[in-house]
Structure 1
């Protein structure tokens, strides 16, 4: 037991759970009863058993040792703060014996999207008679146990390295369906009339957080793998509530192929006899990798060819792959403790994109990865309030806040960097060795490095240690001399002011130098070095942006690379633009250099490059939004930049048009319309009126709804806002609610802004979606300030009560609401407001907002006159 962890006593070890759930109330209190019999190995003499429980009522407890008659507990006490249940007995339980602990309990099916909970939805077809319902909604029941919420559903040893097998049964109405990790074993009549008891096959040994079950009016579509597992194809099903199963077809086209792909590259067959994917109507995360029963937010697994935005195809393909990767990396082999969460999430993110690239080579996945995953990780890791990839977690209850861009996206970015250096085949061979050695057990980061070192012959631990255990990442600054360059590494901060004590790390940096027509694989292992024989006509560091670092070129070289971008891959171009934007913010580069670079991108054809360029420009517009003349000039620049490409693509989607062309069209139409392109605004208004007033749902292509809604609300009045609100309330489209909320925050008046915030916190909006609304206010400085004032006024009555039941949701909302103010005044006010309040569970999110706001304020103060000067000199003012 690690001394730096607050964990359960090591006096006993669970080996099996026999868990029965019964007497579920389908309404009213939503209580249920349960009985769990836990087989234990007694490791030390003890008179008590300590395990985890949270918000459960313990009815009675007893224990038997070596098959003797059960003896009742003399006492049981629950420490609600630590979620520890202590069960005491009148005589010693002797070490070396086997015991069975029996606990009868009662719990509640909550609405917190944690533990055993209920999700509301509006039925589209007649439902089973027994379904829980109220006047407006029907309900399904499911579980979400990661990281520490199995204890909300039943008493258990809720730590990742206390693995055991599970036998599970549940009593449900006869006309409903029950699902769990394993296939059904048996169905018998229940104790109550009209019920049935569904029992499931025993699971392999696994962590408590991976146990899952669900109950509802479910139906499914089924497919099979091409490979055979234990002599036959593996059944793969997508489950939904009744009336939606046809929308699981796209996910079903991917899941069997992904399972086969991972079985091949890991050289280990998928370990379970079935693979189920379940759409859950209310879900705090994107998906959860429960072994054999993966649960998903609806928009991450369901797609309607007639009404869904095409961008969700990309999301579904990736999320399905990410969660199925966990069936091996996370489920078969689990991190030893939550401090190594990145082992699960960083790897699943990288290999999820690897599988997506395998199935969709035309999507240019690694350009997207740099534009989205690496870019987001860079943003969070470039503030002082970041944290190392492997971060100390003393108490498991702290872990939710590190399910963030560092664990997922920086983790996956450094894995991509290492795999590029070792070679993907060599890397995957090491992963296979790691999985085989630790199958059905737990492992550490060091264990993975050992396996990779064995197959590569390189000191992987030594190379990667700073990347995993140190905070931040480097920027390489390039100085040129004829025929050679000098490169220097230092820690990159958005504020551009790393102190000596913050810059003590020397990273191993694989340079992947493109030198003329040659590619070279040198590495920087010191603070400074010189590279000779460099082709002055063309060179680029960090080929394909495979390394997790920024590169700061001299201004003339940056301009030359922009002019020579035909020689660069999409990932290279995305990295070049992203670096220039970040270096402008930090002061290592210049805003003028970034604006001049993207000004030459009018003829760019890549969606991912455009996405990165417009994101960089949007950040500048947001930073300087309080200056009316600069805002006007940047809007003119945006309009000039996107007009040729937007007009060339037009509004119409051609039959069999490739995916990325469609995504680029949506991006450019939105950008042009919001920048004031008259013809696009007029056409947008026409389509919006047809769609809303005339109720012609075919008037707007599904992939252009977001663009048309945003343009219409931004340029419109209360009428346009009201129509999009109506769309949120009544949309039959799977993605309709998410899309509407991301547009409604484009309102321009204080009255509509207040109405939107009141609406967001009404019972009409699911709490899982609040952050979509919050982030949609980010583009308008006035609306962001309004939201902050609203939060202060409504913190005690609305914000905290609505979200504090699930701190993941509260922290996510505050990260989006309080971020990117570019104002020390507002940040001072935020800190003053939260001073003295209990911020446990969202303090890290406040720290991230502080870092972003302080760096933005410094950037604004430093560059305001320089930006104004550049815009004037280039005819935009």
Structure 2
């Protein structure tokens, strides 16, 4: 696999970087000067006249190579923009092996595309130092985002994960601003520039370039300390923000110090740095970034105000903080050898992030949330032909960004949960601890992890996990009933339901989690542990009750006979939340793929009218919403499905009400937000009336407390749907004036519920104005794309504005562009639209978002096939059950 990689020559390896950033232009073109001295080990017996490094959009002014034999200056620099490289030509052959120092002077610009060394705009609060970079309306902070391959945008380097080194950083900044980096400040030196000084940081441990970080701005912080001691000291933990926001960092802070201690104990390796800083960054392409010792976050992933934030963001902050802290061990201390094994970082950090939150908040039912969010979302992408294996070949840096997706994160974590459940949590975590201790400060492979887990468990982990990691897709287990026994058959699950023989050759090891008994309450786990062949028969199965894949710990779909599905629906009160989510999710997926039927799904969920659990309702609403979306082109079916869903939700919506009593559980609050939003948008009269009453009180200024922060999205969305342009304008004004950290995101998502093409175009024009940050441009677009009334306008806008707005605005950061296209276009269920999209992008340079286009095409065509196959059956069921004439 290594031979397929386009990597730097292996004979030059860095051991230490001295990075100095100086002469920053705080405004205008935001240029800066830099010097980097790289201690490099050279091992080339036949000599060399060139050295190759990674750079992107930097100008190298000079390069000098010092060896024990003397020094050589580069005579020429040639740039390969496509491969992100600069070649230093020394003009003569250098015969040398050993340690050398390569010093480069270079120039760059602090960009605004959320990659490399970049600037974020924000509206200041309170007194602001004169030196803060600003324009007419906004002030700026500076920070870095180097993963996956953007350290090369900030300074010339050997930018590959297995070329680890230590780093010393110096930043020249105005005396009234703050500079941060991975390590604590070592000293401050005077600068030649008036009003400036240079902040020098302690050297880092050995680490990959993508984990280096620095930031400059008008920062303040809140601080706490770990309860455990590290090298005899309680570690300082800080949350940094721009001025005026630090108090909103307290919730993250409280979680942070507890999690650092918890992970240090769990992994049996102490957190190795002398501090933990969390920094809120105003513009951020991802959720957060695990830079060692200086973790950066999108503001909504680290800041939370109990008075003004929706409660769902409390859950988000807690989880994202835990996820990034997990990386301090899994990714930073031990790093994947190459990007093909990205899942070692992301899959594990996702699972262990939830593991920590379950420890801190046992009443949140974290694993139920994991099953309805992570597992089901992973299924969605992995059910396409255009999915990829968890461990996937990656040729070079620019290719890696597209695998920061639901396979690496969510399928990876789902498979880890499956393995942990099989081995037992204690044994699994011991294996993980052994892996970390053995490979700390170096790089590792998937096989290294399997070896550690095999040793800890006494089982050959590789033999049953290899296909899960290295093969594409997942199975569906179809159950056939006979007296006293069941037949099981595994095949690859495809959303289109048409796996060809050559696509269905994998035989997965499938943990069955089979329970059977006289009744659900008397059930016990069946002794048959796993399905290891294409088909088998299992005896001693009680017909009164049996269930496959208890708690959905296995990463596969189950396809029951219709009568069994009905019986499980009847026994729903005794099923766990995870069981209910799994059964509903499987029934939905099997209906789309043609292994089951939509009639069976509708009959099943109809039984759940008395359901009380938020996470189960979230699964029902998501699945029925997709069914409605697919059939939205047939008005009679669409109207009848709407009637069905409204009847299903109404009793629970009326029961949960609008008020948030003191001491109510987090999950009940989330249930209220989910049900009122969905029912209000379906037209539930009492919900619509109450939402509009509260909207008028809030927008008029008569009563700003009329809307609970957790119900802003409910009220704003219903108002936009019912009131049209006047509500849209009011929400747009709210977006421009809100001081709530989550306010902009909530406003954009609410705008997506407009009902006319004209208003949809206004929403999109606003989204692509400079009033909306690049990170948020997909938020409203997602909802517009989900909104059948105006969905075609999203596609019209993309093709009509590709060259003038969309590509120029988003192509600087292809992660953002790919996400925008995928969320904007994958909700159609029409082959004609898929053809149009394919024709539009044919001949364009789609590198960086080509996989996203493949996913869009596959999703649309699979849903079109489903619509064509099941429309008659759905219409018949809806008529038979009184939802249409």
Same fold (TM over 0.5): yes
Q: Name the residue aligned to 1:36.
A: 36
Contact preservation (8 Å) 1:377, 1:405: yes
Which secondary structure does the structure 2 equivalent of 1:240 belong to?
Answer: strand
Deviates more, 1:89-98 or 1:550-559: 89-98
Q: Name the residue aligned to 1:784.
A: 791
Aligned-pair CA distance for 1:92: 4.1
Q: Name the residue aligned to 1:689.
A: 696
In 1, Cα distance between equivalents of 2:698 and 2:405 = 38
In 1, Cα distance between equivalents of 2:375 and 2:95 = 53
Aligned match for 2:569, one of 559, 562, 567: 562
In 1, Cα distance between equivalents of 2:266 and 2:272 = 14
For residues 105-504 of structure 1, the aligned pairs below 5 Å read 105-504=106-505
Aligned-pair CA distance for 1:650: 0.6
In 2, Cα distance between equivalents of 1:236 and 1:69 = 46
Aligned-pair CA distance for 1:780: 2.2
Q: Name the residue aligned to 2:525.
A: 519
In 1, Cα distance between equivalents of 2:882 and 2:713 = 31
1:750-802 deviation per Cα after TM superposition (whole angstroms, max 9, x unaligned): 11111111111111111101111110112322411111011111111001100
Aligned-pair CA distance for 1:626: 1.4
Q: Name the residue aligned to 2:725.
A: 718
Aligned-pair CA distance for 1:730: 1.1
Contact preservation (8 Å) 2:785, 2:825: no
Which secondary structure does the structure 2 equivalent of 1:110 belong to?
Answer: coil
Aligned-pair CA distance for 1:46: 2.2
In 2, Cα distance between equivalents of 1:607 and 1:103 = 57
Q: Name the residue aligned to 1:550.
A: 557
Aligned-pair CA distance for 1:160: 0.2
Q: Name the residue aligned to 1:51.
A: 53
Q: Name the residue aligned to 1:17.
A: 17
In 2, Cα distance between equivalents of 1:27 and 1:816 = 34
In 1, Cα distance between equivalents of 2:848 and 2:423 = 38
In 2, Cα distance between equivalents of 1:683 and 1:416 = 42
1:649-693 deviation per Cα after TM superposition (whole angstroms, max 9, x unaligned): 110000011100000001111121112211111000000111112
For residues 766-785 of structure 1, the aligned pairs below 5 Å read 766-785=773-792
In 1, Cα distance between equivalents of 2:639 and 2:74 = 74
For residues 574-585 of structure 1, the aligned pairs below 5 Å read 574-585=581-592
Aligned match for 1:534, one of 530, 541, 560: 541
In 2, Cα distance between equivalents of 1:731 and 1:867 = 44
1:79-126 deviation per Cα after TM superposition (whole angstroms, max 9, x unaligned): 111111111224544454210000000100000100000000011212
Contact preservation (8 Å) 1:32, 1:108: yes
Aligned-pair CA distance for 1:396: 1.5
Contact preservation (8 Å) 2:161, 2:335: yes
Q: Name the residue aligned to 1:592.
A: 599
Unaligned runs of 5+ in 2: 518-522
Which secondary structure does the structure 2 equivalent of 1:117 belong to?
Answer: strand
Aligned-pair CA distance for 1:549: 0.1
Contact preservation (8 Å) 2:785, 2:794: no
Q: Name the residue aligned to 2:813.
A: 806
Aligned match for 2:756, one of 746, 749, 753: 749
Contact preservation (8 Å) 1:625, 1:780: no
In 2, Cα distance between equivalents of 1:403 and 1:539 = 38
Cα RMSD (Å): 1.0
Aligned match for 1:643, one of 640, 650, 657: 650
Matched, 1:856 2:869: no
Instruction: Quickly say closer, same or farther: Cα 1:299–1:663, change in 2 above 3 A.
Output: same
In 1, Cα distance between equivalents of 2:701 and 2:390 = 52
Deviates more, 1:561-570 or 1:13-22: 561-570
Aligned-pair CA distance for 1:581: 0.6
Which secondary structure does the structure 1 equivalent of 2:525 belong to?
Answer: strand
Q: Name the residue aligned to 1:65.
A: 67
Contact preservation (8 Å) 1:42, 1:93: no
Unaligned runs of 5+ in 1: none
Matched, 1:868 2:869: no
Which secondary structure does the structure 2 equivalent of 1:600 belong to?
Answer: helix
Deviates more, 1:778-787 or 1:422-431: 778-787
Aligned-pair CA distance for 1:615: 0.4
1:794-845 deviation per Cα after TM superposition (whole angstroms, max 9, x unaligned): 1110011000000001000000111020000110110111111111111111
In 1, Cα distance between equivalents of 2:827 and 2:627 = 11
Aligned-pair CA distance for 1:35: 0.4
Aligned-pair CA distance for 1:71: 2.9
Contact preservation (8 Å) 2:495, 2:593: yes
Aligned-pair CA distance for 1:605: 1.3
Q: Name the residue aligned to 2:770.
A: 763
Aligned-pair CA distance for 1:326: 0.3
Which secondary structure does the structure 1 equivalent of 2:777 belong to?
Answer: helix
Which secondary structure does the structure 2 equivalent of 1:99 belong to?
Answer: strand
In 1, Cα distance between equivalents of 2:673 and 2:788 = 24
Matched, 1:666 2:673: yes
TM-score calculated relative to the size of structure 1? 0.99
Instruction: Quickly say closer, same or farther: Cα 1:60–1:695, change in 2 above 3 A.
Output: farther
Instruction: Quickly say closer, same or farther: Cα 1:227–1:557, change in 2 above 3 A.
Output: same
In 1, Cα distance between equivalents of 2:354 and 2:95 = 50
Contact preservation (8 Å) 1:638, 1:671: no
Aligned-pair CA distance for 1:48: 2.0
In 1, Cα distance between equivalents of 2:146 and 2:631 = 43
Q: Name the residue aligned to 2:802.
A: 795
1:529-566 deviation per Cα after TM superposition (whole angstroms, max 9, x unaligned): 11110111111111110000000000110011111122
Aligned-pair CA distance for 1:69: 4.7
Contact preservation (8 Å) 1:52, 1:156: yes
Contact preservation (8 Å) 2:786, 2:827: no
Which secondary structure does the structure 1 equivalent of 2:786 belong to?
Answer: coil
In 2, Cα distance between equivalents of 1:336 and 1:127 = 44
Aligned match for 1:631, one of 630, 634, 638: 638
In 2, Cα distance between equivalents of 1:296 and 1:695 = 35
Which secondary structure does the structure 2 equivalent of 1:61 belong to?
Answer: strand
1:551-591 deviation per Cα after TM superposition (whole angstroms, max 9, x unaligned): 00001100111111222111111111100111110110110
